[in-house]
Amino acid sequence: MRFGWNRSARGILTAATTLVATLLAVGMGTAARAAPANPAPVVPVDNPFAGVKGYVDAGWAGHVETSAAAVGGADADRIRTLRNVPTAVWLDRIADIATLTDHLDAALKQGAGYITLVLYDLPDKNCWSTVSDAELHASENGLQRYKTEFIDPIAAIVARPEYQSLRVATIIEPRSLAYLVTGLNTFSCTMAAQSGVYIAGIRYALDTLTTLPNVYTYLDVAHAGWTGWENTFTPLAALVTATVQGTSAGLRALDGIATNVADYIPTLEPFLPNPELNVGGAPVRSARFYEGNPYFGERDYATAMRQALIARGFPTSLGAVIDTSRNGWGGPDRPAAVSTSADLDTYVNESRLDRRPHRFSPCNQNGAGLGARPVAGPLPGVDAYLWIKPPGESDGAGGPLLPPGTDRLVDPMCDPSRPNRWDQSVQTNALRNAPAAGDWHHEQFLMLVRNAYPPL
């Protein structure tokens, strides 16, 4: 359960909300909209998702309808039930900010109580990828541009008086801090660490957004299959703590953490509840699929990371959100019971919901399904299950080559004919013929619908 007291430091800023909006707008050369006379003070809440409905992106809903019309029949009926499901809006380019007011205005017209924004434009972002799509670079004044051309305009817009009734949940820079823990064996991540742009950018985002009483900040902390080992879990918790501690508000600058963003880890592995269970003379977590990682489901990872951060000084009000958009793993291949095999790997492979050949398989995964629909407060400490990655949007293209002039590159981890970068003995498990990242992928969406769990 979350309590509101950690936001008291922000509550005293409520009266200054209009002033903040005006100053930010003037500083950017943007005209501030007229404020209503004597606007009601914004009172921060414990859980921004509780008691209100989320914003439905008309663009995503339109893709859903297009896919429904393309298939017809029972599949179409199931697909159309999703048109009113809220999904996050990704701002991963400076140019995307031009669409923000449209989304916020639409949210108000819908009567939505919250909107989820993903802020993803750090200089040299995605450093661990072989196809980083960063538009900003530390060597080209990227940090200053991130502050003045990305964070400041976003803050100025959401601070406008007309949006103060709308709770704005921000997912801050997916994957970035995890890259500084696990990616230092690569040149790009080493350069990002040495330049300090990730930490400086995140601190600036938190410093700026925390002053706005209608904004809630959730910092990405990877997922169970990435940083669940002790030698990655503890360093990530330490890095998150140090990063947030360096803000003006200290550890109270953060409302929560976000896990499984745009990934596929099941919320639970119901047939593998005990990672220490002995099967064939070894604990289940030592199976090849888990490689010693004790966190099988995202719920356990998220709650453990939250507790670890609280133990490091974060307030007990710290929440968590889990992306369940594509972690359902239903359909005909979903196990119905625990395996009876005495062989450890067979036992795990026959029992696990996650059907991927390797847990670090992040691109357009074959066999995946829609997960739990967005819901507030599904369990203590978890503010919400959210659809942060809009289902049906491609993770990336694996080939053939994209048209000349595109700024979106072919990713080997999205090529189904390639071996997995992290385990050459297995394939990527990516779907064939996927479009570029962010483009609508009808075939994937149809698969997600058919494999949804709970079923549609």
- Binding residues for substrate are 90, 92, 223, 226, 389, 393
Residue 140: half-sphere exposure toward Cβ, Cα within 13 Å: 7
CA 339 to chain centre: 32
Q: Which tokens in the block code for residue 37?
A: 């006379």
Using the 8-state DSSP alphabet, how is residue 156 labeled?
H
Cα torsion 121, 124, 126, 130: sign: positive
Are the beta carbons of 258 and 211 closer than 8 angstroms?
no
Identify the helix (H) or strand (E) that includes residue 118.
strand 114-119
Only one residue has tokens 């953490």, namely: 257
393 DSSP assignment: B
Annotated binding-site ranges: 90, 92, 223, 226, 389, 393
What CA–CA distance (Å, rounded) separates 102 from 349? 46
Distance CA 223, CA 225 (A): 6
Are 430 and 362 a contacting pair, CB within 8 Å? no
The partner residues of 218 in beta bridges, in order of sequence, read 171, 256
Residue among 261, 395, 382 nearest 323 (CA): 261
The single-letter code of the amino acid at 325 is: S
Which of 96, 300, 383, 395 is catalytic? The answer is 395
Compute the distance between CA of residue 257 and CA of residue 262 in angstroms, rounded to an integer: 14
Which residues on adjacent β-strands are paired with residue 258? 220, 321
Whether the CB-CB separation of 128 and 174 falls below 8 Å is answered with no
Task: Write out the H or E segment, with its range, that includes residue 218.
Answer: strand 215-220
Task: Report the distance separating Cα 436 and Cα 407, nearest Å.
Answer: 10
Contact of 376 with 50, CB cutoff 8 Å: yes
Residue 251 is classified by DSSP as: G
Answer whether 47's CB lies under 8 Å from 375's CB.
no
SS (H, E, C) 274-326: CCCCEECCEEHHHCCCCCCCCCCCHHHHHHHHHHHHHHCCCCCCCEEEEECCC
Treating both helix axes as pointing N-terminal to C-terminal, what angle do 73-80 and 442-450 enclose, rounded to 10 degrees?
A: 90
**Known catalytic membership, residue 395:** yes
Give the active site residues: 395
